[in-house]
């Protein structure tokens, strides 16, 4: 509500632009970071200071990944979200006005339209965040990757920026609305992966390469956070 109403109001007045949305997201994510006392550490932020639009890909542990990544990523970022979020009162409309992208994986034509919209966003200078697992992990392990985000990167030529998020699953465990306060969360960005050496025929190779980076980093960061406890 805190961000949805101002976003919709600004859009109705014709006063909503990308820079204003960036500022609103920054305030909203900072407020929520404080709300749960998240102890956020960002590693590899230099890789996220990109000069051209990238496709950001990360693991997905919790809805609080959203807060962590918007706090960690230093440039314009929009996410690809499930179609169900579009149907949420106020929030869905606000996200649409703010250039977020909704994908309906059960409808091939709509899913294709979402990819086309994401292409337009990238061409206009927006970094796009996709969680290739498609859904939150129930136990923190990395799930199977879907291929849509890799097609997007190949179609646009946008490099892929791999990223791991660790700790958000403990902040907001799957299946509960309870927040655990004051826990460490770590976001690590890795060197971008160029797609120029790949084709759609080699998409599975690209997927495997990106997944291996995220998987290896996820295990390393989990061990590091456990050592801090």
Q: Of 50 and 10, which is predicted with more confidence?
A: 50
120: Cα separation from own chain's centroid: 17
Among the residue ranges 98-102, 176-180, 204-208, the one predicted with the least confidence is 176-180
Residue 1 has pLDDT above 60, yes or no: no
Which residue segment(s) compose the domain that 97 sits in?
Answer: 4-228
Percent share of the chain, pLDDT over 70:
97
Residue 227 has pLDDT above 80, yes or no: no
Q: In this predicted structure, what is the pLDDT of residue 229?
A: 60
Predicted TM-score (pTM) of the model is: 0.92
Q: In this predicted structure, what is the pLDDT of residue 163?
A: 97
The residues facing 127 across adjacent strands are 77
Q: Per the structure, how many domains does the chain have?
A: 1
pLDDT tier, 2 (very low <50, low <70, confident <90, very high otherwise): low
Q: In this predicted structure, what is the pLDDT of residue 86?
A: 86
Q: In this predicted structure, what is the pLDDT of residue 199?
A: 95
Do the beta carbons of residue 195 and residue 149 sit within 8 Å? no
Q: How many C-beta atoms lie closer than 10 Å to residue 191's C-beta?
A: 12
**CATH number reported for the structural domain that contains residue 99 in this entry:** 3.40.1130.10
Q: Mean pLDDT for the chain?
A: 91
Which of helix, strand or coil describes residue 176? coil
In angstroms, the first-to-last Cα distance of the chain is: 34
Residue 177 has pLDDT above 80, yes or no: no
Query: Tens digit of pLDDT for each residue in 75-103?
Result: 999 999 888 888 888 888 999 999 999 98
Please, what sign has the CA dihedral across residues 173, 23, 54, 95? positive
- Tell me 200's DSSP state: G
Q: Cα–Cα distances in Å, from 94 out to 3, 39, 61, 88?
A: 8, 28, 24, 10
């Amino acid at each position: 509500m805190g961000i949805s109403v101002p976003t919709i109001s600004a859009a109705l007045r014709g006063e909503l632009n990308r820079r204003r949305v960036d500022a609103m997201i920054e305030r909203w994510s900072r407020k929520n970071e404080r709300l749960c006392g998240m102890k956020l550490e960002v590693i590899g932020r230099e890789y996220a200071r990109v000069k051209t639009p990238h496709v950001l890909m990360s693991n997905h542990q919790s809805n609080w990944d959203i807060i962590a990544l918007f706090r960690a990523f230093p440039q314009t970022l929009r996410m690809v979200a499930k179609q169900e979020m579009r149907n949420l009162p106020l929030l869905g409309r606000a996200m649409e006005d703010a250039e977020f992208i909704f994908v309906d994986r059960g409808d091939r034509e709509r899913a294709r339209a979402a990819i086309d919209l994401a292409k337009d966003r990238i061409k206009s200078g927006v970094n796009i965040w996709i969680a290739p697992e498609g859904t939150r992990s129930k136990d923190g392990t990395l799930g199977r990757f879907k291929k849509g985000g890799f097609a997007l990167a190949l179609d646009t030529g946008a490099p892929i920026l791999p990223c791991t998020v660790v700790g958000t699953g403990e902040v907001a465990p799957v299946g509960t609305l309870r927040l655990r306060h004051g826990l460490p969360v770590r976001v690590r960005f890795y060197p971008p992966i160029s797609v120029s050496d790949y084709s759609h025929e080699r998409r599975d190779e690209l997927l495997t390469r990106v997944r291996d980076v995220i998987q290896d980093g996820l295990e390393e960061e989990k061990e590091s956070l456990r050592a801090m406890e």
